[in-house]
Structure 1
Amino acid sequence: MRQFLEDLAMNTSVYQSLAASLGTVIQHGTPGCNAITAEGRRLLRRAQEASIVRADASFDDIICVVSAIAIAVEKDSVPMPRIAHLVDLLLNGMRVR
């Protein structure tokens, strides 16, 4: 799940303005969009079944958060470390462990 989120945020941030419309773009029904959606839903379901991700989290929630992450790093020259950090905050919260 973590790698999927990081990869999706990274690939989305590469294309200016795609992040802002990711939710709309991913619903176009193209083979690539369908594959991203199917894989994201599969990973989410597995994480929920393993009690790693809350049951009330939806794939739309993931797209919303990934879009926000992609927008946040759009202008970074080396976005991957920031993406990894933001995904970690998403998955693990901001509390000190």
Structure 2
Amino acid sequence: MKDYIEERVLEIAKYILKTNATVREAAKVFGVSKSTVHKDVTERLESINPLIYEDVKKVLEKNKAERHIRGGRATHIKYKAERKDGVSLP
């Protein structure tokens, strides 16, 4: 594996651990796709640093378990904003 890829994998992993970021948030910060972040932290990281891999895996599992809650909140906020603007709901 190329050095720059290993560096990116470790940087993304450290960022996720530090901020409890989702894959989507990490992808935005590092300017790569969600697929790249996911592959970095689920496949490549395990061979680079198994200890960090286990910690990142826990954060990602927590984020996945909470995903439906974040989606529900976003929908609630969206429709609440539409009501304030006077836009009728479908």
Which gives a bigger RCO, structure 1 or 2 (Cα 8 Å, sep 6+)?
1
Give the TM-score of the pair, scaled to structure 1. Answer: 0.31
Question: Which structure would you say has the larger Rg?
Answer: 2
Give the TM-score of the pair, scaled to structure 2. Answer: 0.33
Q: Which has the higher helix share?
A: 2
